[in-house]
Amino acid sequence: MRLPALILLIILFPCVCFSADNVMTWGSASILDQEVVLNFDIGWKKNYRVVSDPEESYIYFDFPRVAVEKTRVVKFMGNEYIEKIKIGQYDEETARIVVYLKSRSSDFKCNSYFKVIDKKTNFIIGVTRKDPIGEIIQEHSFVVIVDAGHGGIDPGCVSPRGYKEKNVVLSLAKKIRDEFNGRNLGIMILTREDDVFLSLDERIKRAVDGKGCLFISLHVDSYPSRKSVRGAGIYYLSQRGASDQRAEILAQKENSSDQIGEIKLAENQEVFQILYSLKQTESIKRSATFTGLLKEKMEESRINVHGVLQAGFRVLKIPDMPAVLVEAGFFSNSIDERLLMNDSHHKRLAKSVVDAVEEYLRNWWKKKY
């Protein structure tokens, strides 16, 4: 039987700053049913990093450029998941929250994101004990991972009118999920639910941890030197080089997003070792199939598609999982810019994506290549 999820709800409020962007001021701690609620003051949504060692019994969260007013340790007697939580200063400019678990971190699932509730910014940490039976069931479920690109300190492309790619693709991702859930096709997981920065490796990890059967990464393009170029672009992985120079430039741009977050490209070497497995070849074949379906469904919905291309996007290098990257349009084109901010256009895009997903599920998911 799957155990109930343990949710850590961390409510963040504005505060006065000193020697860092924000000061973390402790509030209170309480337990309600299976919820641990931590209240403390901080500023706006912050970029953060999640770290765990499968052999250790803790998970910690680092908040750069945040100062802790005073170190606090809260013990939770009798709680089946957590032994204690410590909030303190890791180094001169980094606040750290450490969650000490009752067993190894590999025994648990952890999810974290920001969420606005009653006009207050909340940091949600969900910790759930892994259930072997549940894991087996999920392995046989149809799971789609939708990845809204950029986020947090990385806005992505910015349109002439100031619209940000990170916001457009998150809105589109949520509409895709609504359309998917309305058809009861399976499980859809968003890599991010809010305006947070995720490294490319973290996006890959969330897709793998979610046991995805299909990965869809959402982006917006910009081509200022050729403002007449418009329409959606659909990409899948190439191990031999990009389809053309434009695809190569785009891949280089998207692959550099980790550098914005000051994360080294070689942070998780084990991820890249898997890329050379023979399973990648079949994944690319399945990706090509899905891109063809997606192009067909978009054109049926009268959505302009400028091409299906290949390039070496790091976020598509997921072992044993077909993956595509969709550039929903060009901010550099005035027509696309208006469409990308139009709710009805988002709904048409979402319907096209889910139409393609549904056909892939019905006719191709279990097919041998």
Helices 279-300 and 343-363, packing angle to 10 deg: 130
Single out the residue in 130, 149, 181 at which a domain terminates.
Answer: 130
- Do 56 and 154 sit in the same domain of this protein? no
According to DSSP, the residues that pair with 145 across neighbouring strands are 189, 215
Q: What's the alpha-carbon Rg for the chain, to the nearest Å?
A: 21
**Residue spans of beta strands (DSSP E) within the chain:** 6-12, 22-32, 35-41, 49-52, 58-64, 66-68, 72-75, 82-91, 94-101, 108-117, 120-129, 143-148, 187-190, 214-221, 232-237, 305-311, 323-330
**Higher-scoring residue by pLDDT: 270, 307:** 307
Phi, psi angle pair for 104, to nearest 5°: -60, 145
- Do 22 and 62 sit in the same domain of this protein? yes
Burial of 153 (0-12, 13-18, 19+ CB in 10 A): middle
The structure's pTM equals 0.59
Which pLDDT value is given to residue 290?
Answer: 95
Summarised one tens digit per residue, pLDDT across range 311-337 is 667 767 776 789 999 999 999 999 999
Which pLDDT value is given to residue 270?
Answer: 44
Summarised one tens digit per residue, pLDDT across range 143-181 is 899 999 999 999 999 999 999 999 999 999 999 999 999
Summarised one tens digit per residue, pLDDT across range 244-284 is 444 344 445 444 443 333 333 334 444 444 344 445 677 88
Q: What's the mean pLDDT in 213-238?
A: 90
Which pLDDT value is given to residue 224?
Answer: 85
The answer to whether residue 216 scores a pLDDT higher than 90 is yes
Query: DSSP letter at 107?
Result: G
**DSSP-based three-state secondary structure for 251:** helix
Return d(Cα 108, Cα 120) in angstroms, integer: 28
- Do 320 and 222 sit in the same domain of this protein? yes
Which pLDDT value is given to residue 208?
Answer: 83
CATH number at residue 45: 2.60.40.3500
Single out the residue in 104, 130, 156 at which a domain terminates.
Answer: 130
The answer to whether residue 364 scores a pLDDT higher than 80 is yes
Q: What's the mean pLDDT in 204-214?
A: 86
- Do 303 and 356 sit in the same domain of this protein? yes
The parent domain of residue 111 ranges over 6-130
Domains held by the chain: number: 2
Here the tokens at position 130 are: 């892994």
Q: Where are the alpha helices (DSSP H) in the chain?
A: 132-139, 165-183, 200-209, 245-255, 257-260, 269-274, 279-300, 334-340, 343-363
- Do 307 and 281 sit in the same domain of this protein? yes
Summarised one tens digit per residue, pLDDT across range 4-19 is 555 555 544 433 344 4
The answer to whether residue 207 scores a pLDDT higher than 70 is yes
- Do 73 and 221 sit in the same domain of this protein? no
